[in-house]
Amino acid sequence: MSPIFVIQKHDARRLHYDVRLEVDGVLKSWAVPRGPSPDPAQKRLAVPTDDHSMEYAEFEGVTGSGRYGSGAVIVWDLGVYRNLTEKSGVEVPIATALAQGHAKFLLQGVKLGGAWALTRTSADGDWLLVKVRDEYADPSWDPTESQPGSVLSGRTIEEVAAAG
Ligand code: MN
């Protein structure tokens, strides 16, 4: 079975998108303030955050006060991914790839598709999320603007926040 990915839009103290990849039974997570961009020229800062449990993948609602602040959450994109990381033609397991600071993976979501990469850029831990050039790359498309709602419920983050 393919591992899942989820991107949750989270209106905490500062709006961000939590990008999560299933790795060995947990959701490895990065907070991406500007969200993913299908434009390969747009490198998006991705700050590692705590692993989340698999059950959290379909969570929508308003979080309590937590380390990263309370606020509304929607499932902005959801699907499966395939690890594309390789070295000298041999697949590097995704957990190893992430531990080494570079992973390439193919997303099959409702909104996002094609190859993407997460790369650690500094010893103190910041990463970049970048669209790899392929037929899914599109500099003219900003899905955070054109498709803001939940892929599970259709609700916007404002509607979820208002419902409490
Ligand atoms: Mn968050």
Reading the chain (164 residues) residue by residue, the pLDDT tens digits are 899 999 999 998 899 999 999 999 999 999 999 999 999 999 999 999 999 999 999 999 998 765 556 899 999 999 999 999 999 999 999 999 999 999 999 999 999 999 999 999 987 789 999 999 999 999 999 999 999 999 999 999 999 999 87
Give 134 Cα–ligand 1 centroid separation in angstroms. Answer: 29
Domain coordinates in residue numbering, the chain: 4-163
Cα diameter, the chain: 51
Give 2 Cα–ligand 1 centroid separation in angstroms. Answer: 24
- The confidence score (pLDDT) of residue 123 equals 76
User: What are the residues whose beta carbons fall under 8 Å from the beta carbon of 126, sequence distance 6 or more?
Assistant: 45, 46, 47, 120
Give 117 Cα–ligand 1 centroid separation in angstroms. Answer: 20
